Amino acid sequence: MEGEIDLRTAEAFSAAVTEACMRNCPLDLTGVTFMDSNGLRILLAAASGRTGPPLVVRDSQPVRRLFEVAAPAGVPGLQFEP
């Protein structure tokens, strides 16, 4: 994903997250310049449904900042990499 993740792009983002979960491959968000609560909700839902290894998220500064504010203790089921 690149650019902004918001209400307008939430459906495409949800599909990308679902694919990454099914393939058990990293989700590359290094090109994301903005993420709102829609993106946060989608990632939290994906993490809560994980039964295997955590979903690896290659994040950008905006994504990392959102999670630092919303979930400072981390999220089980998600593993962030720069």
Consecutive 10-residue averages of pLDDT for the chain (82 residues)? 96 96 94 96 91 91 92 87 85
Judge whether 42 and 10 are in contact, CB under 8 Å.
Answer: yes
Distance separating alpha carbons of residues 13 and 32, to the nearest angstrom: 11
Sequence ranges of the domains in the chain: 2-81
Q: What is the pLDDT of residue 72?
A: 79
Question: pTM to 2 decimals?
Answer: 0.90
User: Looking at domain 2-81, which of 3.40.50.300, 3.10.180.10, 3.30.750.24, 3.40.50.620 is its CATH number?
Assistant: 3.30.750.24
Neighbours of 49 (CB within 10 A): 10
